[in-house]
Structure 1
């Protein structure tokens, strides 16, 4: 029991300190010394020009989206611009005895960045949009007492399910909607909607890594990709 308590204390210390370490590192080291999260290769596109073939390396990037959040607001790609975005997946109408276990892990992320919530936007997307309506999502948000300015629960309508499926492949999840679960990988996007990280929510050791990457992306300077 004592060893278990020690591990729990260490885990909470890491969760609190790692984001702060990211900010400290930015102050004390140059950008090239930071281990910034990388990009994820998608494909190589080719086009023929008068000078010959041109090849472009393409990275996973979020494209068009259409969602409705728990506040009944329509959410599109423009709402994400300029923010670091953390995406998770959930079935709000499929609750059992888990007590919102996976959502509580996301809430730990939000709590860690509550002083920088304007730079971080968290999205939890329903993989059961047929049954997950706004009222259900709002009830869960109220129960967890989340900050609804920086964490949106999202569903969509039948007309945009195909777009949601496309989003899953654009961001490197590469699974159809019906194969998602509460433990589907979290996806981290930078301020230009490029994928910069994947994290397994079932692996508690990846939570502080995710938080550290968020802190680094918040500090990343604007550049054209």
Structure 2
């Protein structure tokens, strides 16, 4: 009887510890073991030195931004620091008879990570900033009942449209603002604003891939100096 009780206790301990061991393993496994999302190559810069040519690989990375969100707050690059960022594109003032169809996948992402919302920031950028006023974006946010602490709708003024086009180029989206659409690829950035993924919102099979990549980037450890 005592031996049987010992086995039962051991079984209960294993049931409790296995999930903790699994989480510890995920946190401590290497980038290779976790199959972390890769970086996206932009170009190679070369510099001639007395010792010969030095080559520097450049990757797509978000640089300076300037937006206004639905809460009338100015959003700059500083607001993205230390967060995994998922970016989508939308026309808030366009007539939408489908119940905001192309925003619903983003809502699914937010709902999936609601317990980790401090680590994930979602940005939906207007590709029609001339007509997408703050009050229109706020109305859409209220209609969808989104968490406005972790999902911002963004527009900009005419003075920053050129900067927005530069931002698209920096992220590897080789389209001008006027050619974007609701189905323009989502862009995933890591905590240092490097591009780590592109996803087609029209392809439902890519949604779980996107969510998996978000989770992995949340676990990504800082590189040692």
**Aligned residue for 1:87?**
87
**Counterpart Cα distance in 2 of 1:6 and 1:131:** 70
CA contact (8 A) 1:15 1:207 kept: no
CA contact (8 A) 2:27 2:219 kept: no
Distance 1:16 1:80, change over 3 A: farther
Q: Deviations over 1:131-156 (max 9, x none)?
A: 00100000000000000000000000
Distance 1:18 1:88, change over 3 A: farther
Could you tell me which runs of 5 or more consecutive residues in structure 1 were left unpaired when the two chains were aligned.
Answer: none
TM-score by length of 2: 0.87
Secondary structure of 1:140 counterpart: helix
Distance 1:197 1:23, change over 3 A: farther
Residue 46 of structure 1, CA deviation: 1.2
Q: Deviations over 1:27-57 (max 9, x none)?
A: 5844431110000000011112222221101
Residue 96 of structure 1, CA deviation: 2.4
Could you tell me which runs of 5 or more consecutive residues in structure 2 were left unpaired when the two chains were aligned.
Answer: none
Secondary structure of 2:129 counterpart: coil
Say if 2:169 is the partner of 1:200. no
Considering only CA atoms, is the larger Rg found in Structure 1 or Structure 2? 2
C-alpha RMSD of the superposition: 9.0
Q: Deviations over 1:58-80 (max 9, x none)?
A: 00000010000000000000100
Secondary structure of 2:87 counterpart: strand
TM-score by length of 1: 0.87
Distance 1:11 1:112, change over 3 A: farther
Larger CA deviation: 14-23 vs 179-188:
14-23
**Aligned residue for 2:220?**
220
**Aligned residue for 2:135?**
135
Secondary structure of 1:213 counterpart: helix
Distance 1:114 1:138, change over 3 A: same
* Higher RCO (C-alpha under 8 Å, 6+ residues apart): 1
Residue 207 of structure 1, CA deviation: 0.2
Distance 1:136 1:41, change over 3 A: same
Distance 1:81 1:21, change over 3 A: farther
**Counterpart Cα distance in 1 of 2:8 and 2:199:** 20
